[in-house]
Amino acid sequence: MSRVADTIRTRNDEASGALIGYLPVGFPSLDTSVDAAVALVENGVDIVELGLPYSDPVMDGLTIQRATQTALRNGFRLRHGFEAVERIRARVDAPLLVMTYWNPVLQYGVERFATDLQNAGGAGLITPDLIPDEAAEWMSASQHHDLDRVFLAAPSSSDERMKQAVEASRGFVYAVSTMGITGARDDVDKAARSVVSRLRDAGSTSACVGLGISTPEQVADVLSYADGAIVGSRLVAALEHGGVAEVAKVASELASGTRR
């Protein structure tokens, strides 16, 4: 069984839904990124999404790009991702998903990556640039190592692509609320409701919305129709400007949006 799906189901029973928080590994340092991820969980985040810094982050907005480029300049290596997962899991029990572009996994070796992620205690991968019909090797490795696989669905996705995302995903389907790149916005795109509705029609029982969520009110709004709300840029900006203490404060504020 998927710990991610179980957590989302439990939080929908207990509260309005699940809060998922994103932070990049290695920003501003490896130690601080571990402390910040722990602070997320200690302040109400249910599932942590750990981003692996990459040299060509085509889907990331300026806040996350700036953070990941800092991590790379400071010496981030892929092995640090597994180290971070292991260190965080030693301190908190929340599921940890790794968000990564597909090329680093290919370069590392898909089977080797899956083995090392499982051994570190990771729950699975979010792969924004991998589509299900090109994911046979990852599907096999994730199945063998009991890892979740989260695929994306966007407003532009065809009905067939929606169905593929639902059938291939384990944990949840990542419903992209806006076209383009990540970044906090004043209003979450109304297209998110349509994406989640179409995922439901395709058979999804676990759909979480990301891109553009930055306030407790937006979290609450998203959880009125989706199973989880994913926050990234707002938390990365908090870490950039106020350190771990600010991350903890913002996480606690965002978590208030899950209360019925």
Tokens of 16: 């309005």
Non-local (6+) Cβ contacts of 111 within 8 A are 141
Report the distance separating Cα 36 and Cα 249, nearest Å.
11
Beta-bridge partner residues of 170: 149
In 3D space, the residue among 151, 147, 183, 145 whose CA is nearest the CA of residue 164 turns out to be 151
What amino acid is encoded at 172 in this protein? F
CA nearest 8: which of 127, 179, 124, 120?
124
Residue 254 and residue 260: Cα distance in Å, rounded? 13
Asked about 60 being catalytic, the answer comes back as yes
Give the residues across from 21 on adjacent strands. 48, 231
CA 244 – CA 130 distance, rounded (Å): 32
Question: Is 227 an active-site residue?
Answer: no
Q: Cis peptide before 216, with omega less than 30 degrees from 0? A: no
Which of 100, 87, 114, 93 lies closest to 22 in space, CA to CA? 100
Q: Are the C-beta atoms of residues 151 and 127 closer than 8 Å to each other?
A: yes
| Residue from 6, 14, 35, 60 carrying the catalytic annotation | 60
6, 31, 35, 49: the active-site residue: 49
As a 3-state breakdown, the chain gives helix, strand, coil percent values, each rounded to 5, of 50, 15, 35
| Catalytic center residues | 49, 60
